[in-house]
Amino acid sequence: MQRGNMMKIIPGPASKELGEKIADLSGSEKVTVIYKVFPDGENYVRLEGDVQNEHVAIVQTTSAPQDTNLMQLAFVAAAAKRNAARKVTAIVPYFAYARQDKAFLKGENANVETVAAMLHTAGIDELITVNVHSEKALAKFPFPAFNLTAIPLLAEHFVQRGFKGAFALAPDKGAMYIAEQAQMVLGGGSGHLEKERDPYTGQTSQTGKNLEVKGQIVIIFDDIISTGGTIVGAARILHERGAKQVFAACVHPLLIGDAEKRILEAGVKEIVGTDSVPKRASKVSLASLISNELKAKQSG
């Protein structure tokens, strides 16, 4: 039976805790996913709950192991459709392959488009993601895709801890809009570094022309921290320029390998991320941001 605009939430295996928080905050019923990985590595999922004629929202991030998490998302979506769900929304806080949004070199593929096509085939009708690396890529998806920003939430976390007035720094010009969103909440200054990346080696170099941060508390805001190289380089420049304290904030704390250690060793006081990627640094939850979006969609 259809229950007006109410949605059922399916917390996926990769975002179980976040999915449950979203269901609680949005007052939605939960559908549990039974899942396992067979000894040969294949994934199995089963929905434990009725989805017939329901609009369901699957919460499943796709950080590492990306391909497993993507397959589980596809299988849960397909299981929902096979069991007669009327609409499937995917809530994918971290969207894997989003940085591979175009063929940079001859012979490459725009892998993010292939992932979207695969999810569409599986049964996904709509997508909500958070601070996706390339918003332009979403326009090419075969279903409506919405991008939320968690930067104000991250900045608010720092305000609550007494850092009102801190300087918001973007590690490159392209991320300046992120620093500006943070500045709106923090009320201090903002600026950016210059970053260049070699398309073959992936090596980056950073410079900080005209950056005035002497004596200031600086929070570096980025969408992703992966290897930590960008933050380590930025912290070095900030310390050279006389910053009093340096923090790092990001939406997606991938923090590969020893990234966390390297960042802290570079003099960054603390790393604050969101539960888009469940890690020790995930101190800010996306649950309120996403449940508010769902409530707005349900009433709209």
β-strands 190-192, 245-253 pairing:
unpaired
The answer to the question of residue 175 lying near ligand R5P (CB under 6 A) is yes
Cβ-based neighbours of 297, under 8 Å, separated by 6 or more:
none
The answer to the question of residue 238 lying near ligand R5P (CB under 6 A) is no
Minimum separation from the CB atom of position 259 to ligand R5P (A):
6
- Looking at beta carbons only, is 172 or 275 nearer to ligand R5P? 172
β-strands 126-130, 32-37 pairing:
unpaired
Query: Binding marks (x or -) toward ligand R5P, 214..233, rule CB under 6 A?
Result: --------xxxxxxxxx---
- Looking at beta carbons only, is 111 or 288 nearer to ligand R5P? 111
Closest by alpha carbon to 82, among 33, 117, 47?
47
Query: Binding marks (x or -) toward ligand R5P, 42..81, rule CB under 6 A?
Result: ----------------------------------------
Minimum separation from the CB atom of position 108 to ligand R5P (A):
17
Question: Which of 195, 244, 269, 295 is flagged as catalytic?
Answer: 195
Query: Binding marks (x or -) toward ligand R5P, 77..116, rule CB under 6 A?
Result: ----------------------------------------
Minimum separation from the CB atom of position 66 to ligand R5P (A):
14
Cβ-based neighbours of 81, under 8 Å, separated by 6 or more:
88, 122, 123
Q: Which helix (H) or strand (E) holds 191?
A: strand 190-192
Minimum separation from the CB atom of position 204 to ligand R5P (A):
7
Closest by alpha carbon to 248, among 156, 154, 150, 161?
154
Return the residue of 11, 13, 171, 191 that touches ligand R5P, per CB under 6 A. Answer: 171
- Looking at beta carbons only, is 164 or 261 nearer to ligand R5P? 261
- Looking at beta carbons only, is 3 or 197 nearer to ligand R5P? 197
Q: Are 54 and 67 in contact (CB under 8 A)?
A: no
Closest by alpha carbon to 14, among 58, 61, 57, 56?
61
Rounded-to-integer distance, Cα 101 and Cα 184, Å: 29
Verify whether residue 195 is a known catalytic residue: yes
Rg for the chain, CA atoms, rounded:
20
Between the alpha carbon of residue 19 and those of residues 59, 97, 185, the distances in Å are 5, 22, 27
- Looking at beta carbons only, is 39 or 202 nearer to ligand R5P? 202
Interface with ligand R5P by CB under 6 A: which residues? 171, 175, 222-230
- Supply the residues annotated as catalytic: 195
